[in-house]
Amino acid sequence: DLVGPQTDEAMAKNIQGDVALLDQQQNELRKLEREVNKLQERLPQGGSGRNLKDALSEQDKLHKEVQMLRKSLQSLQERRNRHNQQLHQLQSEKNSIVEQQLKIQGGVQQKKQLEDKLCELQAQEIVLLEEFDQITDQIQPVSDRLEAAIREKEQARLAHKQKLDTERNRVNKLVRQCDEVRKIQESITKYEKSGGADRLSATKQTITRLAGDKETVLENKKQLQDQINEVKTNLNNQQVRQRELDDNLKLRQKREEEKGVNEEILALSTKIGGMDLQKVIKEKEDLRKREETILRDKAHTEGRRRELQENIQLLRKELNKDNNKNADKAYSDAVIELKVKEVANEDLGHYYKALDWALSHFHNQRMKHINDIIGDLWTQIYCGNDIDTIKIKIDEDKSEGEKKRKVYNYRVVQVKNGQELDMRGRCSAGQKMLACLIIRMALAEIFSSKCGILTLDEPTTNLDKDNIDRLCATLANLISLRASQKSNFQLIVITHDEDFIDKLTKMHKVDYYFSVSRNDRGKSLVTTVRCD
């Protein structure tokens, strides 16, 4: 029961493109009819027997004539330019020849003058040579005498130089001796002028007088030394007496102290009664040691207390500074900020995981959709039986860690009987080109649905005839589908395959296309080619 509807559905899918194409052609036909009616209304009332086809043929004929006239005009202009260049070149050659002629004429006149001058100079040269020979004969004896005189002069100069050096050394020595004598004489004269002789005699008298005074002083010194020794002896005797008296006084004081101590001992003994003296002494020693320990701990504690007080004063000064007055509030604010950041960081971790899962899920869905489109296009275009379909496989980097960004490695595989193999190194150039076109068309369909331009550059490279035909059919279906969706769409094809352009224009009505070529001057020429 389902065979009939399925057959109808398949037939409807097959003719869907033709129906869309037919609708588009009908719309264009109606549009052209309206334009023809408008043009007929603009024509004069008398009218003309020509139809649109005749007008277009006449337009093409006129266009060709215009092109021929332009080419002939261009060739004439080029000829004129060449003639002008030749004319300028000939004019330059003429000017150079005239200039050379003038130079030659001037050179002929100058040559005559130079020849006359040459004759005069030759005559002068003969006269000068004769004079030179005479002078040479006269100079020879004089030259001999001059050389002998020069040799004598050199010998005399050397002898005079040696004698002069000897005399100069002797004079320098005498000058130095004179300088020394002069210095000695000046020092003697200076000494006499300053009264040195008088001072010398006065000094001698003073020395004699001081020698007498020295003897007197030595005698007085001896007497005084004897007196000093006597005084020292008496003084030593007095010190011994003083020491004895001091010792006697100390002895009396010690006896008084001993008497008082004995009395204290007697009183203590009476007070102690029957107690053991050794035990009391030992207890006293223990108490003394305990007292020392307590005093030492007290001193240590006092030092520690003063240190703590100083630290407290320093801390109070620190707390009274501007940056520490609100330390409690700043600490609480910092703790609150830290806690908020920790919670926010945890929330961001959850958000990151959720976003990563959503992106991964969206990516997988998109890739599945892309592979579905790639499979449909491959089935429609490829006419071989060695590859069932192709698709894009994803190898995801499984490295762990939230901060590790995921990396996707894409590769294209071919499928045959459910088995997948990498296309790299296993497919031909035509299969590689076809796979590249299909993948780009699928990507454009998914990610550029709002973009109305699809550009293909040399899409038929390395493709055989059957695959080119099926590619044409697929592109025509794509254009019809976009036209039925009433979306702005434009297909741009850049190719050197004219058969492909003919097939594509036959499958889908195209008014014209652009042909790019080079003219005689090597410049690009864009021509509009109309499709019949």
> 510 φ, ψ to 5°?
-125, 130
The one-letter amino acid at 416: K
pTM higher than 0.75: no
How far is the C-alpha of 367 from the C-alpha of 375, rounded, in Å? 12
Q: Are 489 and 481 in contact (CB under 8 A)?
A: no
* Tokens found for residue 383: 């006419």
* Residues above pLDDT 90, as percent of the chain: 3
pLDDT band at 48 (very low <50, low <70, confident <90, very high): low
User: Per-residue pLDDT tens for 231-288?
Assistant: 777 777 777 777 888 888 888 888 888 888 878 777 776 666 556 667 777 888 888 8
On the question of pLDDT at 313 being above 50, the answer is yes
On the question of pLDDT at 475 being above 60, the answer is yes
For 158, 320, 335, the CA distances from 324, given in Å and listed in that order, are 102, 7, 16
| Beta bridge mates, 163 | none
How far is the C-alpha of 136 from the C-alpha of 8, rounded, in Å? 139
On the question of pLDDT at 1 being above 50, the answer is no
388-414 as b/e: b if 16+ CB within 10 A: bbbbeeeeeeeeeeeeeeeeeeeebbb
Among the residue ranges 11-15, 76-80, 115-119, 440-444, the one predicted with the least confidence is 11-15
Domains of the chain: 357-448 (3.40.50.300), 449-531 (3.40.50.300)
**Nearest residue to 28 via CA among 503, 475, 483, 452:** 483
Q: Is the pLDDT higher at 187 or at 432?
A: 432
How far is the C-alpha of 185 from the C-alpha of 367, rounded, in Å? 126
On the question of pLDDT at 107 being above 80, the answer is no
How far is the C-alpha of 266 from the C-alpha of 260, rounded, in Å? 10
pLDDT score for 445: 78
DSSP state of 49: S
Write down how long the chain is. Answer: 532
How far is the C-alpha of 89 from the C-alpha of 489, rounded, in Å? 59
The one-letter amino acid at 90: L
